[in-house]
Amino acid sequence: MRFSQQQTRFYLALPLVLLSFAPHFALTQTAPHPPFLLGADISALDAPGRGRLPAYQEDGKPSDELTILRHHGWNAYRVRVFVSPIRNAPNNTLEAALPLAKQIKASGATLILDIHFSDTWADPGHQETPVAWRGMDIKTLARQWQSYARDTVKALKDAGGMPDIVQVGNEITVGADWPLAKLQPPGTKPSNPPQPYNDVQQWKNLTLLLKSGIKGVKQGAGRTPPRIAIHIDKGGHWDTTQWFFDHLNAAHVPYDIIAQSFYPPWGHGTLDDLWNNMNQSAQRYHKDFIVMETGYLPVRVANQSDMFWPVTPQGRLQFMVDLVNTVHKAPHGLGVMYWAPERDLWNDDGTPGPAVFTLDNLTTLTHRPDSHAPTAVNP
């Protein structure tokens, strides 16, 4: 592999950086810790969603999003897959994912597969059962999860795009495949769960689906099992994180990674809140922790007091430096994944914007008042 000047400077500085992270690495002396992941969800790679922006370029030469990010040390990429036929969402079918997954693996990067188990967007406000799966009882639906996960992973493996990490469900804080596995998190407004609501039964349904999906992933992978990530949207909220993962552990769901969304514009807390959540999670669950989705908008969100950083390209760079330093220095911090970088990480001429150079600034943009990382991270 040939390294860029930016990567060379980063790796030359790495020993000093690792010394500053010594408490974190001391936790894993008996086994090597996975490499820290800085990456992005690029499911819309080169999609028309960039609007009128010119094609990607760098140093006057045409390029593409993956190549430029790899050139600057971004080493992990997530690809989502919707159930076909897709409704009201981008064309992220398995067939569309195969060449992108193969391209990511060929670049030497870590591949994260995001199986939505939905035929449209799946998030805390939308966890719809695919139309083709509706009318199934919970046991039949669980078998569908297993076979779908198995066939999806096997297809990727056979195509040369075997995932390193598989995310079983997307932001499933409120459950999945509603209404059969819909949850009511404590302290939240009722979101029309099945009535009469039986919390024990709903959790039983969700954990059955998760176990079935995980079993299918492992069957499809064969002798090359990926790590399993469970993804919710409470990066800065330890109370809901504990509620959720305590239930998973009580049901013996076999997962490897706690995956969280962390968007300051959307009420996910501050970096101090994220730091607390990571430390609490490390003590209680002893699992790696990844910020699986993040981003920082180019506009202010009304009544959102956690948007400390300027809504500018330089503000996004400072946000990413603060976030990466926070996750990297916390125990079991595995990585940070930016969602849809093609939306706001590029300059108007198609060249990489400041946040693409996050790795070059991990030790320079650490001073207050510009930095909003916890004092434990940047004293």
Task: Tell me the domain boundaries of the chain.
Answer: 5-361
User: Is the pLDDT score of 66 beyond 50?
Assistant: yes
- Domain 5-361 in CATH 3.20.20.80: yes
Average pLDDT score over the chain? 90
Contacts 24+ apart (CB under 8 A), 198-202: 202/175
Binning pLDDT at 50, 70 and 90, where does residue 78 land? very high
Mean pLDDT value across residues 123-131: 95
Percent of the chain having pLDDT more than 90? 80
Residue 163: both structure tokens together: 């995932």
Cα–Cα distance measured from residue 299 to residue 92, given in angstroms and rounded to the nearest whole number: 27
Query: Do residues 352 and 60 lie in contact, with contact meaning Cβ atoms separated by under 8 Å?
Result: no
pLDDT at 45: 67
User: Is the pLDDT score of 284 beyond 70?
Assistant: yes
pLDDT at 156: 98
pLDDT at 24: 36
pLDDT at 46: 53
Residue 131: both structure tokens together: 């139309």
By mean pLDDT, which of 44-58, 140-154, 195-209, 277-291 is the weakest? 44-58
Pairing of strands 165-168, 227-232: parallel
Percent of the chain having pLDDT more than 70? 88
Pairing of strands 57-58, 61-62: antiparallel
pLDDT at 263: 96
User: Is the pLDDT score of 12 beyond 80?
Assistant: no
pLDDT at 319: 98
CA-based R_g, the chain, Å: 20
Mean pLDDT value across residues 152-172: 98
pLDDT at 16: 41
Q: Within its chain, how far is the Cα of 43 from the centroid?
A: 12
Angle at alpha carbon of residue 208, lines to 202 and 209, rounded to 5°: 95
Binning pLDDT at 50, 70 and 90, where does residue 18 land? very low
Higher pLDDT among residues 155 and 22, named by residue: 155
pLDDT at 28: 33
pTM metric for this prediction: 0.90
pLDDT at 44: 86
Cα–Cα distance measured from residue 201 to residue 313, given in angstroms and rounded to the nearest whole number: 47
φ and ψ at residue 228, rounded to 5 degrees: -105, 125
User: Is the pLDDT score of 253 beyond 80?
Assistant: yes
User: Is the pLDDT score of 2 beyond 50?
Assistant: no
User: Is the pLDDT score of 266 beyond 90?
Assistant: no
DSSP class of residue 356?
G
Query: Is 214 in a helix, a strand, or coil?
Result: helix
Closest-CA residue to 280 (of 296, 263, 265, 260): 260
